[in-house]
Amino acid sequence: MNIHREGYPFIALFAAVNLLAFLLAGWLGWALLPVTLWCVAFFRDPERKTPDSPGLIICPADGKLLPVVDAVPPAELGLGDKARPRLSIFMNVFNVHVNRNPVSGNVVALSYRAGKFFNASFDKASIDNERMSIRVRPEGQASDARDLAVVQIAGLVARRIVCDLAQGEGVRRGARFGIIRFGSRVDVYLPPGTEILVQAGITTRAGETILARFV
């Protein structure tokens, strides 16, 4: 099982505490063992097979797709004040938390904003919570007409958003770009001219589930 690099310090800490608990009292060590195993599982980073058909927009996160709404993208990305379809994926503490690029293209803008830590399933989390906003221009596009936004959002217990991207960087659909600890949400704001191919309530897999396609 692959482990994301962000997980090693936490796994080491949990394992050390668990070992100490075993030394102090066997029953305590056994009681804490499921927590240590959960920590290992939380940072798992499985391989995924990304669809390669042109024009697809792939899900960036594992989790549950919340109701699709029209919403204005984060102002800091410069995508205007017109509402567009927003697909939100809620990740609980048992989901894989490694995030993946929904399209191939170039990072046009990045913006981190500190904020609150409401439950990530609440709609207000998209506005009020800590977030990292990413604007991506799909490959082959010379204008901003099809730029989309991906927003990593901290949740109730999440306390760190990790994004490995840089402005101007080229990205590949399905490639890893970050992780959120521990329980969170990822929003995708679709550009005009896309067809949504999913419905609220489905379970998604980062890098594999097809969210939409350009038409």
Return the DSSP state at 20.
H
CA atoms within 13 A on the CB side of 139: 14
Active site residue 184: yes
> Residue 125's domain spans which residues?
56-214
Rounded-to-integer distance, Cα 112 and Cα 201, Å: 28
Residue 133's pLDDT is what? Answer: 95
The answer to whether residues 32 and 128 belong to one domain is no
- pLDDT < 70 positions in the chain: 117-122, 125, 156-159, 183
Q: Do residues 107 and 136 touch, judged by C-beta distance below 8 A?
A: yes
User: Per the domain annotation, does 48 fall within a domain?
Assistant: no
From the number of C-beta atoms within 10 Å of its C-beta (0-12, 13-18, 19+), residue 69 rates as: middle
User: Per the domain annotation, does 94 fall within a domain?
Assistant: yes
Residue 93's pLDDT is what? Answer: 84
Rounded-to-integer distance, Cα 117 and Cα 154, Å: 6
User: Per the domain annotation, does 194 fall within a domain?
Assistant: yes
Tens of pLDDT, residue by residue over 177-209, are 999 877 688 999 999 889 999 999 999 999 999
The answer to whether residues 10 and 74 belong to one domain is no
Choose, from 88, 126, 133, 184, the residue flagged as catalytic: 184
The answer to whether residues 67 and 27 belong to one domain is no
- Record the pTM: 0.88
User: Per the domain annotation, does 50 fall within a domain?
Assistant: no
The answer to whether residues 34 and 64 belong to one domain is no
The answer to whether residues 101 and 34 belong to one domain is no
Give the number of domains in the chain.
Answer: 2
Residue 200's pLDDT is what? Answer: 94
User: Per the domain annotation, does 106 fall within a domain?
Assistant: yes
Q: Which amino acid is at 29?
A: G
User: Per the domain annotation, does 85 fall within a domain?
Assistant: yes
The answer to whether residues 168 and 80 belong to one domain is yes
CATH of the domain at 148: 2.70.70
